[in-house]
Structure 1
Amino acid sequence: MDKKTINWAGFSKKTPKERAIFLERLDLSADSVATLEQEKLLPLDIANQMVENVVTRQALPFSVVPDVLVDGKVYQVPFVTEEPSVVAAASFASKIIKRSGGFKTHQDKRQMIGQVALYDVDNKAQATRAILAKREELLNLANSAYPSIVKRGGGACELIVEEKGDFLIVYLSVDTKEAMGANMVNTMMEALVPTLEALSGGKSLMAILSNYATQSLVTSTCQIPLRYLSRKPDEAEQLAHKMALASQLAQVDPYRASTHNKGIFNGIDAVVLATGNDWRAIEAAGHTYASRKGSYQGLSTWSYNSSTKMLEGTLTLPTPIATKGGSIGLNPSTRLAHDLLGQPKATTLAAIITSIGLAQNFAALKALTSTGIQAGHMKLQAKSLALLAGAAESEVAPLVKELIKQPTMNLAVAKQLLEHVRQAD
């Protein structure tokens, strides 16, 4: 069935089993269908080979944000997160943005950066000239250290040298194709060390990949007509102005910027985790990029265009995402995530993830500048307390309703109210 024609109305009201059956309408592989039907998790014997000292596995909720429109194509986006409201907020925002024309993305290239830090270099200017004179030979040397990537159309692309403090640093840009490329780049950098030491007369302190992937920048934009902010024109325009002001606040106040960006990563991390990627690398790159102008700032910007009556959002982020390599093929739920997305290329997955970050940010700013964010959080907190109190599935809704009425919500109150709910039945 064409994914664009599926009616997702009421998806959130279904049971997990009903949602799993619903997803089988998509063009999923037999492996993915089995994962859904049998609730297949990462096998313990495979987990034991992935990291050290394994004793069991940690399970997290695996959700879907439906119908996210990116560059003219609709995606069903997998989320892995334990934080309440994240999936609901992303779904809400993505639905509005789809009606507004969806996300548009841009990326110039997708390359990773490695570095060799040289020290005890007596004449850095002379060493720089010597290294740059051998640039082509060094690029070939790097590629010979990892010939398989060259066969796939990737490999070392560019080499530059910079003097920073006591160090002379050689940077290498590498097209890693579908892989994140840490091992690939590290292998290349280490292969360059003997030649670089000979050319510079110095010593290598380290040779390693940088997670600050400024050669893998992705920009996502969207435009939202005022009518989607509020049915009342005056209220909608006021909200657009307030959201633009909230964006400005994140540019001038690092205390706000920290929470602003955390909200962006609520969605980004959820997709990165679902697709088996390194969320720590994405966070490191993003937070470094947020500080590129000398102070920590919000990663997204929102402005109100009074001529078009549009709220316009932009998010630019280093997004070195992979679709091959690492542990991506080992986990059944990770394979399901890629299948739900239609087995995207790394560049496409990066575009989706960056767009999700912008959607998450839109939902947060809209809530903060209108109704406030706490009302929704309190309902979700009540639900968590209900579950901790031992409420069965049929008891959660009535218990949450009673909890919200209380001046104080805690586990003791939840347990007491649960008894009342059970007596009423």
Structure 2
Amino acid sequence: MIKPVEGFSKLTKDQKIEWLTANYTENAQEAKLLLKRYWNEDKKVQQLHDEFIENTISNFYLPFGIAPNFMINDRLYAIPMAIEESSVVAAASKAAKFWLKRGGFKTEVLGTEKIGQVHFIHRGDPGKLWSFFESIKPKLIEEALPITKNMTKRGGGLSAIELRDKTSKLDGYYQLHCTFETLDAMGANFINSCLESFAQTLKREARAYAPFTKEEKGMEVVMSILSNYVPNCVVRAEVSCPIDDFKIGHNMPPRQFAEKMVQAVEIAKVEPYRAVTHNKGIMNGIDAVVLATGNDFRAVEAAVHAYAARNGSYTSLTHAQIDKGIFKFWIELPLALGTVGGLTNLHPLVKLALEILGKPSATELMQIVAVAGLAQNFAAVRSLVTTGIQEGHMKMHLLNILNQLGATDTEKTRLTNHFKKHTATHNEVVKAFNKLRNE
């Protein structure tokens, strides 16, 4: 029977591995060798990885790929992507090549505002609370100056503080709703530091506010935290071309293809079951670039999906239409990203990814990431309305299946050539592999 471990975080990495493999793996020796095989040979790089999080025992690698030929606002990019899913990089590259010949992608940042909130409970006279807030608002700003002054000098900082009454949702619940501009930083630490300063000022001043009753003076601050929902930190990316130039082959006339693309997007707007998968495909492209550039893909995912449901029903993030003979395809979504701070200055591959992108500002990175999502969605919907998703996906997945089967390099070459002309289902790949082995 396995016993709880005491002081696990204080053990050395070797001791952690020894305890883990002895208690939770079938072959401790093999598990230890595997974990150590993924250590970085450069001790400085490995120490860097070890210090990113707690209780590290090894590294978990993802493929780091490049999708070339992205023309964005008349500038050519090669976009780094960190992802394990077959066909994502290939699909993005194919979409980039398609639109390269049709004017490329156009982008625009619609807003960069970020949000933080101080959540508190006040049981008393709402009128007195509003008067109290107006009287201490200058002090809230003043006492946070040691935190905000450097950001303000660079052109960012605190934009506004509002008192919001949420008592219709929860008894006694109010909040300070604060907006910020954080420039090239994602800004989580900056925003949270400001909010905690506001909370301290709020509590102290409430105790000293003469019109409050004893109960009102005991105002309870529940928590102070930024919001990852950023509906005013939004970017738009789009592509367009005349229908006559919308040729893709597959014996499908350009107008029919354009109309089917529009219909597919309209279905994703009205059918949540389809919209979730539709948007997941968008996030294949977005997450891969967000991860490669050292940003928080969990925060991006949460914000994007909340945005997709902002009108009460979960819907498509992309839009398509035919207008006066022009096919238009676009996306608008919230992206809170940073190009300074966090992993951007620490992780060697993140630094390289940002260098490959031309050392973009946060707003430039927003535009690049949005384009990656739009390209991925275009590629997926194009496949769905023409050949179907599996033909291309399974051909890209072919090597994964062959590696699982233990195929040699020669066998991989022969079977890859074979499935250029045949449908690559899992069952057919196994049959072809066994036949080749028997020969």
Aligned to 2:336: 320
Give unmatched runs, 5+ long, in structure 1: 1-37
Aligned to 1:225: 242
- Greater Cα shift, 327-336 or 348-357: 327-336
What amino acid maps onto 2:155 in structure 1?
Answer: G
8 Å CA contact retained: 2:148, 2:158: no
- Greater Cα shift, 410-419 or 144-153: 410-419
DSSP-derived class of the 1:328 partner: helix
Aligned to 1:353: 369
Pick aligned residue for 1:192 from 183, 194, 198? 198
After superposition, residues 333-352 of structure 1 pair within 5 angstroms as 333-352=349-368
Q: Per the alignment, do residues 325 and 195 of structure 1 end up closer, same or farther by CA in structure 2, a change over 3 Å counting? A: same
Q: Deviations along 1:356-394, whole A, 9 cap, x unmatched?
A: 111111111111111111111222233211122222444
What amino acid maps onto 1:269 in structure 2?
Answer: D
Aligned to 1:216: 233
Q: In the aligned structure 2, how far is the partner of 1:124 from the partner of 1:184?
A: 30
Aligned-pair CA distance for 1:99: 1.8
Aligned-pair CA distance for 1:130: 3.1
Q: Deviations along 1:193-229, whole A, 9 cap, x unmatched?
A: 1332335742211000100012311111211333234
DSSP-derived class of the 2:144 partner: helix
Identity, % of aligned positions? 36
8 Å CA contact retained: 2:163, 2:177: yes
Pick aligned residue for 1:363 from 379, 403, 410? 379
Q: When the two structures are superposed, what TM-score results if normalisation uses the length of structure 2?
A: 0.81
Q: In the aligned structure 2, how far is the partner of 1:412 from the partner of 1:374?
A: 17
Q: Per the alignment, do residues 154 and 394 of structure 1 end up closer, same or farther by CA in structure 2, a change over 3 Å counting? A: farther
8 Å CA contact retained: 1:41, 1:332: no
Q: Deviations along 1:324-367, whole A, 9 cap, x unmatched?
A: 11122222211110111010111000111011111111111111
After superposition, residues 219-298 of structure 1 pair within 5 angstroms as 219-226=236-243, 227-230=245-248, 235-298=253-316
- Greater Cα shift, 70-79 or 260-269: 70-79
How many residue pairs end up in the alignment? 382
Aligned-pair CA distance for 1:135: 3.6
8 Å CA contact retained: 2:395, 2:424: no
DSSP-derived class of the 2:333 partner: strand
Q: In the aligned structure 1, how far is the partner of 2:180 from the partner of 2:254?
A: 46
Aligned to 1:182: 188
DSSP-derived class of the 1:212 partner: coil
Q: Deviations along 1:265-312, whole A, 9 cap, x unmatched?
A: 00000100110111001001000101100111111111122x1x2221
What amino acid maps onto 1:279 in structure 2?
Answer: F
Aligned-pair CA distance for 1:410: 7.4
Aligned-pair CA distance for 1:133: 4.9
Q: Per the alignment, do residues 264 and 407 of structure 1 end up closer, same or farther by CA in structure 2, a change over 3 Å counting? A: closer
Aligned to 1:172: 178
What amino acid maps onto 1:203 in structure 2?
Answer: E
Q: Per the alignment, do residues 370 and 129 of structure 1 end up closer, same or farther by CA in structure 2, a change over 3 Å counting? A: farther
DSSP-derived class of the 2:342 partner: coil
Q: Per the alignment, do residues 225 and 91 of structure 1 end up closer, same or farther by CA in structure 2, a change over 3 Å counting? A: farther
Q: Per the alignment, do residues 72 and 136 of structure 1 end up closer, same or farther by CA in structure 2, a change over 3 Å counting? A: farther
- Greater Cα shift, 259-268 or 111-120: 111-120
DSSP-derived class of the 2:49 partner: helix
Q: In the aligned structure 2, how far is the partner of 1:386 from the partner of 1:330?
A: 36
Q: In the aligned structure 1, how far is the partner of 2:232 from the partner of 2:199?
A: 22
Aligned to 1:100: 102
Aligned to 2:29: none
Q: In the aligned structure 2, how far is the partner of 1:170 from the partner of 1:204?
A: 10
8 Å CA contact retained: 1:276, 1:327: yes
RMSD value over aligned CA atoms? Answer: 2.5
After superposition, residues 369-384 of structure 1 pair within 5 angstroms as 369-384=385-400
Q: In the aligned structure 1, how far is the partner of 2:122 from the partner of 2:85?
A: 49
8 Å CA contact retained: 1:121, 1:203: no
Q: Per the alignment, do residues 272 and 397 of structure 1 end up closer, same or farther by CA in structure 2, a change over 3 Å counting? A: same
Q: When the two structures are superposed, what TM-score results if normalisation uses the length of structure 1?
A: 0.83
Q: In the aligned structure 1, how far is the partner of 2:137 from the partner of 2:118?
A: 14
Q: In the aligned structure 2, how far is the partner of 1:132 from the partner of 1:72?
A: 48
Aligned to 2:321: 303
